[in-house]
């Protein structure tokens, strides 16, 4: 396939995988959920044993606590072990974000101990820090963990493939002639990787991890795609204007409630040990999701109107 700059030079296909073994940022994002979940479980077990040793409650109460910690509830050790062991087969959504195939027992153990220390320190200093800690974990899951994927580039075929059939949703094939803009984001001075933000004519924006050794080849392929004529139709909004107004109204409502609740907490100076912070965080999160989606759909509608005009 050629373009205005002539045919693309023949280049062999290349492939790579991005995961916790490649970048400190990916390593933190991958193990953070296990650090929080395992840390809570470890603190629970240690607290139960300590209370039993001090005679606060008898052996039967300790037995009940241990049974719950080991086999009962979503925070139990057995539950997390089952997800780690069978998540890639029994739950594809979990495998997408947990990157179970790239975990190590040593890494999970270290994350558990570090997580328990961070949680205990947060509780001792400022309980409200726990809300920030959980927010960071959620952001790491959403923003960084999906980057842990296999990437294949076939320059001669003008094709970029992300993931494989075993992942959630299967592999994603990107035709390079449908790329309309790219942006490169380094992962810091200690990383030999960078993220290439790829916007397409049709489809959501993609974040592709690229090692420095392949960045020149990837850049050349993407630049050729930018110069080519797109074959896909531009993406259009999936909502109507009234629907977007409703979404924006709901998002604004969540935000107003969060602000009002926060002001009430500050004026009364009653945080209930930091628990009052969690509703505010959840309300703000819902507001960001609603307003963000409404804004994105409005932007698509505006772009479609401009192109039609």
For 154-180, write each residue's pLDDT tens digit.
988 889 998 765 555 567 888 899 888
Whether residue 252 has pLDDT greater than 90? yes
With a pLDDT cut of 90, the percent of the chain lying above it is: 11
- Which of these ranges, 46-60, 216-230, 233-247, 293-307, has the smallest mean pLDDT? 46-60
Number of residues assigned to the chain: 309
- What confidence category does residue 290 fall into, taking pLDDT thresholds of 50, 70 and 90? very high
What CA–CA distance (Å, rounded) separates 160 from 179? 11
Q: For residue 11, what is the DSSP state?
A: -
Q: What is the pLDDT of residue 99?
A: 53
Per-residue pLDDT tens over the stretch 100-144: 556 778 888 888 888 888 888 887 887 767 777 777 777 776 667
Whether residue 93 has pLDDT greater than 50? no
> Three-state DSSP class for 95?
helix
DSSP 193-248: EEEEEEEESSS--EEEEEEGGGHHHHHHHHHHHHHSPP-SPPP--SS-HHHHHHHH
- Which of these ranges, 66-70, 144-148, 239-243, has the smallest mean pLDDT? 66-70
Quick check: pTM over 0.85?
no
What CA–CA distance (Å, rounded) separates 178 from 70? 51
DSSP element (H, E) containing 153: strand 150-154
């Amino acid at each position: 396939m050629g373009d205005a700059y002539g045919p693309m030079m023949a280049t062999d296909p290349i492939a790579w995988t991005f995961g916790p073994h490649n970048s400190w940022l990916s390593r933190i994002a991958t193990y953070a959920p296990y650090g929080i979940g395992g840390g809570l479980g470890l603190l629970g077990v240690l607290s139960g044993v300590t209370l039993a040793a001090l005679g606060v409650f008898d052996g039967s109460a300790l037995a009940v606590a241990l049974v719950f910690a080991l086999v009962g509830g979503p925070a139990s050790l057995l539950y997390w072990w089952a997800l780690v062991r069978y998540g890639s087969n029994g739950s594809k959504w979990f495998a997408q974000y947990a990157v179970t195939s790239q975990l190590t027992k040593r890494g999970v153990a270290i994350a558990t101990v570090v997580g328990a220390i961070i949680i205990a320190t947060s509780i001792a200093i400022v309980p409200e820090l726990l809300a920030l800690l959980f927010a960071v974990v959620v952001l790491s899951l959403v923003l960084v963990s999906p980057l842990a994927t296999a990437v294949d580039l076939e320059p001669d075929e003008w094709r970029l493939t992300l993931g494989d059939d075993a992942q959630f949703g299967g592999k994603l094939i990107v035709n390079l002639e449908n790329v309309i803009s790219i942006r490169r984001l380094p992962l810091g001075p200690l990383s030999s990787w960078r993220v290439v933000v790829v916007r397409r004519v049709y489809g959501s924006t993609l974040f592709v991890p690229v090692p420095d050794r392949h960045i020149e080849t990837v850049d050349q392929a993407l630049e050729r795609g930018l110069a080519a004529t797109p074959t896909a139709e531009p993406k259009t909004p999936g909502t109507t204007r009234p629907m977007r107004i409703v979404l924006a109204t709901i998002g604004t409502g969540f935000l107003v409630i969060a602000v009002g609740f926060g002001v009430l907490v500050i004026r009364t100076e009653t945080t209930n040990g930091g628990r009052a912070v969690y509703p505010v965080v959840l309300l703000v999160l819902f507001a960001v999701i609603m307003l963000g989606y409404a804004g994105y759909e409005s932007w698509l509608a505006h772009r479609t109107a401009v192109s039609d005009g």
